[in-house]
Structures are given as C-alpha cells and as structure tokens.
Amino acid sequence: MTPQTVYQRFSQTATKWPNNPFMCVLPETAELYGIKAGELVYGDALQRIQRLVEQYRQAGYGHGHRVGLLLENRPAFFLHWFALNALGVSVVPINADLRAAELEYLIGHSEMLLAIALPERHTMLLEAAKVVDSPLAVMADGDTPPAPARPAPLADRQPDTHTECALLYTSGTTGRPKGCILPNEYFLYCGIWYATRGGYIKLQEGVERMLTPLPLVHMNAMACSTMGMVQTGGCLIVLDRFHPRSWWDSVRDSRATVVHYLGVMPAILMKADASPDDTRHQVRFGFGAGIDRTLHETFEARFGFPLLEGWAMTETGSGGVIQAYEEPRFVGTACFGKEPPEVEVRIVDDADNEVAPGQEGELLVRRKGDEPRFGFFAGYLKDPVATDEAWAGGWFHTGDVVRRNEQGYLQFIDRKKNVIRRSGENIAAVEVEAVLLQHPAIKAAAAAAAPDDVRGDEVLAVIVCAQPPSPQDMQALAQDIVQHGLQRLAYYKVPGYVVFVDSLPLTATNKIQRGELKKLVPQLLASEHCFDTRSMKKRQDIPV
C-alpha cells in the first residue's frame, strides 16, 4: 500500500526495520534537556506512537484539528506528531523562544486547540491564549490529553495525501509570519526526493545516521532530515542546537554519515585551529545552504567531505528544490546546481521579462507537468491574496535574486528585499556579511541599507564582537573592519557605517530578521557606538 500519511510511512518503515535505531540522543543533548541518552528503535517508537494515537482518539481529537508542539528538539516531538497525524490532526511547531505577543498571534491565527509543551511554558501559553480569547488547553508530554473545545470539522473523512500535516510559520524576516499549510504529500515527497536523488546524495537503506542541529520549527529538520531517515530506515541524531566547541565530538560520537548545516556553521568551524582529528569522522556529505563562497573549497579540503549547497523554501518543499548534488558544483561561486528535469525555472526582471544568462533576476519555480504545485505548500492560512500573489502567472515567486552562469547553473545572490542599492550598484547583504565574518574580532554580522541623500543607500554593518571592545577601541576597530573589507570587496560594497551591538535580531533558525533590522536602522545610526567610515570608501589600486 502506498502511504497516504506520514504516520503510515513511519509504520511501514517500523514494520520493515523494527530493530533499526530511529533516533539517537547524545549525552550532551540529554543532559541539557533532562532526558535519557541513547537510541530509540523504530519498533519501540511505533508502539509508543500507537498508544498516543488511542489516547488522542479517546479524548476526541480528529481530522481538521490543530495542536501546537512546544517540545524543542526532543524525541517526544516526533512521537506526538506521528500520533496526531494518524488521526488527521495538524501540528503547529512552536519556537520555544517566542514571547507573549508572538504567542498571542500564533495561537489566535492557527486556532490550535491544544499545545503539548514544556511545563515551564504552560503559564505563558495560557496567558497568551486568554488575550486572544482562545479555548487553548495545554498539557505536558506524559499527561492525559484533555477533550478538545470543538469537534473535528472533517471527522467524516479519512486523512490522505492532501490532509494538512503541519502548519509551519515563515521566519518573519521581513514581516509578520505567514502560516504555510503543508499537506502529507509535502512531507512524503521530501523523503522520496532525498532517498532517490543520487550523485553525492546516496542514502543507503537501513544504515544512514543523519546529524542535524537545526530546529524542528524549520522545514529542513522537520521535513528533509526526518523524512529522509524515515523513508530509508535511517537514524536521526538531533541536537538541541549548534555547539561549535563540541560539534566534531558530536559528529564522531554519533557515528554520523550525513550532517545538515546552515551557512554560518562552516564559517565558525573554520575559525578553530586545524587538527589531525579534522578528518577523523564518517561523514560522506553535508547538506545545506549559504556557505561563504571563499571558505567552501578550503572547508572541503580540510574536513574531507563535500558541502552540497541547495535552494528551497518552506513554501516549495522538495517540489521545487534545486541542489548541487553532482559535478560540476562550481565550488566557491554560491552555485546551488541546475534545476532537475522535473522542475521548471524562470529568472525575471521587475517587469517579468526573462533576463539573459549572467544577469541577475528573481527566481521563479514550479513543477513541470500537469501538477505545477506538486510537493509545494498548499497555501498561506487565511491569506488567499498572498497565496495568489506568490503564484502569479502560474509560477511561484521566490523573492530570491539569482543568476545563471555560462554553463547553465544557478548562483544565489541574495533575497530581493536584502539588496542594497548604492549609486546604481546592487549590493547583496549576504556577500558583505560573509566577508565581515572572516574578521577575527567578529562573532556575528548583518548588513543593512542606511539612507543616503546622495547615493540612495549606504551600507551599514551591524557587528557583534567575540570580545566586546571598550568604547575607546571601537573607532579603531571599525576602521580595521572596513580595511578588512576593502581588501576583499569592491570599495562600494564595504560598510559606510559600522555599529557595535550586543546581539542581532534573529529567527529560530539563526537567520537575521531583516524586517526588524530595517526598523532599527535609524536607532542604530544614532547610537554612540556607530562610526561613519564613508571617507574610507575609495577605489583601491589594483597591483600590476
């Protein structure tokens, strides 16, 4: 029988490989979470899931309900997710870092009726629910589910591939988060895509061990990593988050064969001193996006495995994913591969005209054939206008700026809204940030557009230092940072302002909240820790 739901897919795998480990919890993660370390095999996990299914069924939960999960990256997240999925209940992952106003919005917008949450977060959830007049109930893992406030709206229908499996909220980097409706099909195809891709991505059935530090409120961990392992009977090793100092110990101790990463991770790992242990691991490939192009080749040479850059969004899932999983990968050029035969791509200017190879434009994607939205999200909850805008003309508008090289492969530039336009030149914030992060004093950095009466925009660098400098040393450090940039970037791309802060506004996946950063620009420019470095922005002589 072809699985129609995530629960059915897991059940089939557990029946085939009951003694294979499904999850591995390392001692470090177990200690931080206060749970037991070790492995959970598929057969035992299925028994625990089936017991939860009966508890939720008896309580009255069913097709069309939504339930929140505030369980961080704990094994309980998966057990409750799969159990609820068996009944047609959609789960809403809740970032543990959200606070009152954010929770009020999430609870009210999603209309969740229950939240399975860490006990210390119950009061805040209930208070937020009261503000938005929600009948939300809360429970901890291990509690008996309370009855839902409303009957299941689709109780007369069996869950299938089109049933909502999860409601994932976008990062909210440029505005209020949107609720992406993700059906079972979305998750099932993620697993199939990962298991059948080939090239460097060769998942061996029943033997892979995949390590991810990414949060389960993110589609990469919840859909790609999880379903890739469930599809192939592999073991998922979930960390609470990325710990640079213990990362390689975790890789070795877990016997990981695959690791998932975000672009900031390789940059941090490369700052550590080289060691003979750098290649003492079993990793065959890394799966992720956003590595600093200047570090890509040196990272692979030092640590001994390829970092396979890819492109996808919560909205596209694996239906429109593009991945550099085979040669040529054009390492060091921000290349994320070429669209596979089942995916169609357009690169267009602001007037929706296709641009020539080598020129930058917005990436538009869709599935080839009669189902252009296969594997994509089903739409934005309660926002059909935004859904229609995203799919204008029958193509999904990604908001990402890319270009196609001479060989036809795609290179990432930046989010369309992150491009800084100075004196007619387009500057990608991520390119500036990648160079800034190579400075030894910098722990985190963001680039934003500051208003300029003459040039339109000027580059503002927002800097978090590894060791906070004294006020007396800040100006000299700001100048050193700009000098560092002048050696690596065209002069117009280097910061015209440098401001030192304690922290950046970040999402749950450590992405910069661009919308929040934009709001902060006037305040940052007025800060006593902001330094005007525009006089240093001069064309550099090129040695001959």
Note whether residue 201 is domain-resident: no
Reading the block at residue 55, the tokens are 């508890």
d(CA 348, CA 178): 25
Note whether residue 493 is domain-resident: yes
More confident residue, 415 or 521: 521
Q: Is the pLDDT of residue 20 over 70?
A: yes
Read off φ and ψ for residue 36, nearest 5 degrees: -80, 135
d(CA 521, CA 257): 43
Sheet of 164-169, strand order: 137-139, 114-117, 66-70, 90-93, 164-169, 179-183, 379-380
Q: Is the pLDDT of residue 267 over 50?
A: yes
What percentage of residues in the chain have a pLDDT greater than 90? 83
Residue 454: Cβ within 10 Å count: 8
Note whether residue 440 is domain-resident: yes
Q: Is the pLDDT of residue 540 over 70?
A: no
Contact 284, 258 (CB under 8 A): yes
Q: Which of 203, 179, 474 is nearest to 315 (CA)?
A: 179
- Residue listed under structure tokens 């290179």: 411
User: Mean per-residue pLDDT for 213-232?
Assistant: 95
| 3-state secondary structure at position 471 | helix
d(CA 46, CA 79): 8
Q: Which of 322, 362, 361, 315 is nearest to 341 (CA)?
A: 322
- Residue listed under structure tokens 């095999």: 41
For residue range 333-371, list pLDDT tens digits in order: 999 999 999 999 999 999 999 999 999 999 999 999 999
Note whether residue 511 is domain-resident: yes
d(CA 502, CA 326): 41
For residue range 26-67, list pLDDT tens digits in order: 999 999 999 999 999 999 999 999 999 999 999 999 999 999
User: Mean per-residue pLDDT for 240-257?
Assistant: 96
Contact 59, 87 (CB under 8 A): no
Phi-psi domain of 248 (left: phi exceeds 0; alpha: psi -120 through 50; beta: other): alpha
| 3-state secondary structure at position 262 | strand
Q: Is the pLDDT of residue 377 over 80?
A: yes
Q: Is the pLDDT of residue 383 over 80?
A: yes
Total domains in the chain come to: 1
Q: What's the confidence (pLDDT) of residue 343?
A: 98
d(CA 396, CA 483): 41
Q: What's the confidence (pLDDT) of residue 99?
A: 78
Note whether residue 87 is domain-resident: no
More confident residue, 454 or 211: 211
Mean pLDDT of the chain: 94
d(CA 211, CA 227): 13
For 94, the enclosing helix (H) or strand (E) is: none
Note whether residue 131 is domain-resident: no
User: Mean per-residue pLDDT for 145-152?
Assistant: 98
Contact 442, 464 (CB under 8 A): yes
More confident residue, 544 or 1: 1
Report pTM.
0.84
More confident residue, 420 or 373: 373
d(CA 538, CA 531): 17
| E strand spans, 281-416 | 285-289, 307-311, 322-323, 343-348, 361-367, 379-380, 396-404, 410-415
First-last CA distance in the chain:
68
Confidence tier at 431 by pLDDT (50, 70, 90):
confident
Q: Buried b vs exposed e over 353-386: b needs ≥16 C-beta within 10 Å?
A: eebeeeebbbbbbbbeeeebbbbbbbbbbeeeee
For residue range 188-197, list pLDDT tens digits in order: 999 999 999 9
Distances (CA, A) of 117 to 66, 94, 113, 382, 489: 14, 9, 13, 25, 47
Note whether residue 437 is domain-resident: yes
- Residue listed under structure tokens 């499996």: 165
Q: Is the pLDDT of residue 541 over 80?
A: no
Q: Is the pLDDT of residue 268 over 80?
A: yes
Q: What's the confidence (pLDDT) of residue 95?
A: 87
d(CA 188, CA 6): 6
d(CA 33, CA 104): 26
- Residue listed under structure tokens 């500057």: 427
Read off φ and ψ for residue 2, nearest 5 degrees: -75, 125
User: Mean per-residue pLDDT for 502-506?
Assistant: 92
Question: Which burial class, exposed, middle or buried, applies to 57 when counting CB atoms under 10 A from its CB (0-12, 13-18, 19+)?
Answer: middle
Q: What's the confidence (pLDDT) of residue 542?
A: 41
Q: What's the confidence (pLDDT) of residue 102?
A: 82
Q: Is the pLDDT of residue 424 over 70?
A: no
Q: What's the confidence (pLDDT) of residue 288?
A: 95
For residue range 164-208, list pLDDT tens digits in order: 999 999 865 445 679 999 999 999 999 999 999 999 999 999 999
Phi-psi domain of 510 (left: phi exceeds 0; alpha: psi -120 through 50; beta: other): left
User: Mean per-residue pLDDT for 388-404?
Assistant: 96
| Three-point CA angle 514, 519, 522, nearest 5° | 125
Domain containing 454 — which CATH number?
Answer: 3.30.300.30
User: Mean per-residue pLDDT for 413-428?
Assistant: 80
For 249, the enclosing helix (H) or strand (E) is: helix 247-254
Q: What's the confidence (pLDDT) of residue 264?
A: 80
For residue range 433-491, list pLDDT tens digits in order: 988 998 999 999 999 999 988 788 899 999 999 999 999 999 999 999 999 989 888 78
Q: Which of 228, 238, 226, 230 is nearest to 203 (CA)?
A: 228
Note whether residue 446 is domain-resident: yes
Q: What's the confidence (pLDDT) of residue 509?
A: 66
Q: Which amino acid is at 184?
A: N
Task: For residue 442, give its domain range.
Answer: 423-536
d(CA 152, CA 155): 5
Contact 399, 347 (CB under 8 A): no
